[in-house]
Structure 1
Amino acid sequence: MSEISLTNAQKDDFVDKLQKYFDKELDQDIGRFDAEFLVDFISEEFGAHYYNQGLTDARAVVAKQVDSITEAIYEIEKPIS
């Protein structure tokens, strides 16, 4: 399995959002270092769950499409005499 990682831009965005959340919702200032540490922790502890859920959702979409294609193939079959 490939490693699940964030780009620097994604991590910066998550850190900014986390800092804003702490300020607005919890009325606490969280430093950049602490926010980065928390983003790393959340990514490591919960990232695989969300990744796997995305794969499950993708499988469901592909299965639905395969069913649709299978039905279309049956519809164009020619009768055998």
Structure 2
Amino acid sequence: MTIELSKEARADAIASIQKYFQKNMEGPIGNIAAGGLLGFFLEEIGPTIYNQGVADAQERLQTRVSELDIEVHEEEFQYWRKHERQAKPRK
């Protein structure tokens, strides 16, 4: 699965890379080079981050599913118990 960004997200990411280089590296990085670096990160590292997100979501869902029986469990065959408690003794 290819990880793709919207035009707006891609432009923001490129601007962020350029700002990072300007503040933390010896020299600035151009728009084309920043776009290439972003493409490399998306293709090389993006799947690892994506897969971790999927694994985290699966773990959370499995936890919720395992708790489902506790949250929505109903006792069976409760009619007589319920009605016998409510019944008043006859005099």
Provide, for residues 29-78 of structure 1, a one-character-per-residue CA deviation record: whole Å limited to 9, x for no partner: 0000000000001100011101100000100110111122122244x232
Aligned to 1:34: 33
Greater Cα radius of gyration, structure 1 or 2: 2
Whether the aligned pair in 1 keeps the contact of 2:18 and 2:30 (CA below 8 Å) is yes
Distance 1:16 1:40 in 2: 14
Compute the displacement of 1:11 (Å): 0.8
Distance 1:45 1:3 in 2: 11
User: Percent same amino acid at aligned positions?
Assistant: 31
Distance 2:36 2:16 in 1: 14
CA RMSD of aligned residues (A): 1.6
Aligned to 2:45: 46
Alignment gaps of 5+ in structure 1? none
Aligned to 1:65: 64
TM-score when scaled to structure 2? 0.76
Count residues with an aligned counterpart.
Answer: 78
Alignment gaps of 5+ in structure 2? 79-91
Q: Which stretch of structure 1 is more off in the superposition, 2-11 or 47-56?
A: 2-11
